[in-house]
Amino acid sequence: MRRVFVRMKSWRAKLAISVFAIVGILCQVQGEAEAAAPAPKYSVQLNDKLVTFPDAKPYLDGADRVQVPIRFLTESMGYSVDWKLEGKQVAVTMKKGTATVQLKTGDRKIIVNGKAELMDTVPVLKQDRTFVPVRFATEALNANVTWHQPTLSAIIATDGRTHQALAPVYVPISEKIIKTAKAYMGTPYVWGGSTPKGFDCSGLTQYVYAKNSVSLPRVSRDQYKTGQPVAKSSLKVGDLVFFSLNQKGVVGHVGIYTGNGEFISATSSKGVSIAKINDPYYWGAKYIGAKRVL
């Protein structure tokens, strides 16, 4: 089968027409730290085989839809793909037998065998590839798509069978952070410490988040300047929680919220340990705020 792959010397260099994108999923918008938390990894499976993405990766668009470049999947399904530039947009035509599907980046309209329908998001040109929403494209091409939430996978069946998800179960980064932090329970407190040999409070948070590809400043007062403020009643696992110790209103301690009104931190009295945020004997009166960086 002929592969459609066009190279150009303009800004469209390496433009490769990729057709399809995953079923839209509503996801919570991620907060930002110095470096944003890694985005969830979405997968596409064709029958009993996972599709690989050599360059452009799945992403969440502005309509809360996960879009994925799948040129290789299109070819493996036996469809010929043609395209043409219309200004800065790309018009795509897919054909197989008597079926024809047409769409264009920036346009919600999809034309299936001459009949127009509207999608709830638009195809886009991103990272030198064309992304198109799969629900409409795959149904137009007589394929069945099932979303598997535990693995964040779109499973596309062209053989009429039901297929088991092959991708690993997705673990939210907040859970990974808590698991990492708890691995250091009992580690002694060391002023200025930022390694498993000994931590101070901000050394622990910076180290734990870095182990999960999230960058934080070194000291607690600077960590308090990152992310989005969170009300105490709205705390979620993985949020940073801050306390004032010797000077009222001045950040002096930071920990990681673990859920159920508890947080983990490196303290001078117990090392890395878990405590109650509302502890009436100590932490409750010293709590000053929280930040969401995931």
Tens of pLDDT, residues 216-256:
999 999 999 999 999 999 999 999 999 999 878 899 999 99
- When pLDDT is cut at 50, 70 and 90, the band that residue 36 belongs to is low
Domain ranges for the chain: 43-157, 173-292
CA dihedral 234, 239, 245, 248 (to 10 degrees): -50
Which residues are within 8 A (CB) of 129 and not within 5 positions of it... i.e. 6 or more apart?
Answer: 15, 16, 17, 18, 55, 56, 69, 71
- Beta-strand relationship, 228-229 and 240-244: unpaired
**Model confidence, pTM:** 0.71
- When pLDDT is cut at 50, 70 and 90, the band that residue 16 belongs to is very low
Q: What is the pLDDT of residues 121-141, one digit of tens each?
A: 999 888 888 888 777 767 777
Which residues are within 8 A (CB) of 285 and not within 5 positions of it... i.e. 6 or more apart?
Answer: none
- When pLDDT is cut at 50, 70 and 90, the band that residue 268 belongs to is very high
* Nearest CA among 141, 130, 56 for reference residue 94: 141
Which residues are within 8 A (CB) of 14 and not within 5 positions of it... i.e. 6 or more apart?
Answer: 7, 128
For domain 43-157, give the fold: Copper Amine Oxidase; Chain A, domain 1 (3.30.457)
pLDDT at 260: 96
Mean pLDDT confidence for 110-116: 89
Q: What is the C-alpha to C-alpha distance for residues 13 and 49, in angstroms, rounded to an integer?
A: 30
pLDDT at 143: 84
Mean pLDDT confidence for 40-54: 88
Residues 277 and 284: beta-carbon distance below 8 Å = yes
| pLDDT beyond 60 at 25 | no
* Nearest CA among 105, 98, 99 for reference residue 140: 99
Same fold, 43-157 and 173-292: no
- Token pair for residue 6? 């066009």
Residues 226 and 162: beta-carbon distance below 8 Å = no
Q: What is the C-alpha to C-alpha distance for residues 56 and 202, in angstroms, rounded to an integer?
A: 35
Q: What is the pLDDT of residues 178-226, one digit of tens each?
A: 999 999 999 999 999 999 999 999 999 999 999 999 999 999 999 999 9
What homologous superfamily does CATH list for 173-292?
endopeptidase domain like (from Nostoc punctiforme) (3.90.1720.10)
pLDDT at 273: 97
| pLDDT beyond 50 at 17 | no
CA atoms 150, 154, 160, 163: torsion sign: negative
Cβ-based burial of 101 (10 A; exposed 0-12, middle 13-18, buried ≥19): buried
